[in-house]
Homo-oligomer: A and B are copies of this chain.
């Protein structure tokens, strides 16, 4: 094979590096804003972020970049590139085409509209005023529709939106997996609700010292193999993880004084995201491939660590005594009571407070509604009624107000249609990965109950984390588990876990 040393390669790689550098700089600016930047500097900071984002956008849509891409895409040239270079070319091309198709003026209008809609949403949620919010939501939907037209609809219009967050994911596939999931989770949730063996959770609600909570969170992060020389733990109102580069992956948490598990499971969740970003192969350093491959795969890791590991009995067999010591006299319950208390399942109105099982129904409802908007012409005016009907059908409860219903999430006001499915994809991926992991590491649960989580982190690093964006989500799930995404793994996992807890 002849290696075609195109002149476009060096400036192309230089541009990729620069885009990554902008990304890291913006990442630090956002992290700083959310972890204690002084209030009075925020307006100017927004302008700085706007300025840098604008430069980054300009660079990512420059005609030169388009020319280099075209040159590198010539079959003879392309085949002479390394695997990483090829993936950089295809990924950058996708992003490039997506970006250049939106006229800058339209994009800027969209940013303004979303910013106004987000502000209005906050007010409307507080005042339970859907009618006040509706015209803003209509505008955001209208711009999104224009974007779909400009990008070009895929198999369905909503497919175009899904692809932004989960490359390659389609309505066809999601209908299948979410359909299967819904059919089995709705009766399971009903059986759980009818069980006489409901866990007690009252002991979780006491005044738990914040410093002790922090100490315990640090203990668990260390156990997971989070590298504190390549990260740090801070506080913020909304917990998050941010991968600046593989040597600097930060997490934040929020300590609630009246809830011992909120910060703990939040920290494990963000720690899962962080392990992913800390363990990407060095060959991808400084490129746009050095990050998680999709929202869904990222969420699979946060949820694997939070739910599959963190809410398991073996995990607490190792850690419960230490938690009791951390809060002397406050956790006077048995391991079994503690385990059951942390795994209560209850239909509820609010997604972000939902348990591991019913959470998926919240997502399926949002998925179905988004599909109705973009594929079936559902109108903003109809959404509250659609929302409430679905909650009644799938969860057996109906929101008494729109604030507790259709107004609860920020996503739509920001134009993030197509994002919600990632959360449940994460749960499904996690269960399917866990199934393979249990077979390939036969002493998996012994390791967990011994607090020896590092072999698990190593397995995940070797099979998933190290590839960053080099593999697509569907390649990853196929390569790691030998099968395409299948919701039955999640269903089986949930059935097994909750049959035991609720003695079904």
Contacts and interface: CB of A to CB of B under 8 A. Distances in A.
Interface string A100-127: 0000000000000000000000000000
Contacts of A482: none
A32 B41 contact: no
A229 B43 CA distance: 13
Interface string A32-54: 10001111111111011001100
Given A25-B25, A38-B229, A45-B24, A17 B244 contact: no
A232 B232 CA distance: 19
Interface residues of A, number: 38
Number of copies: 2
Given A25-B48, A25-B52, A51-B17, A38 B286 contact: no
Contacts of A250: 38
Contacts of A44: 24, 244-248, 285-286
B32 A28 contact: yes
Given A229-B38, A232-B38, A18 B244 contact: no
A248 B40 contact: yes
A28 B32 CA distance: 8
A482 to B, nearest CB: 34
Nearest to A27: B48
B285 A38 contact: no
Contacts of A48: 21, 24-25
A36 B18 CA distance: 24
A186 interface: no
A247 B28 contact: no
Contacts of A459: none
A40 to B, nearest CB: 3
Contacts of A227: 40
Closest 9 CB pairs of A and B: A41-B248, A40-B247, A41-B247, A21-B51, A44-B245, A40-B230, A21-B48, A24-B48, A39-B229
17 contacts: A18-B51, A21-B47, A21-B48, A21-B52, A24-B44, A25-B29, A25-B52, A38-B231, A38-B248, A40-B229, A40-B246, A41-B247, A42-B247, A44-B244, A44-B248, A44-B286, A45-B244
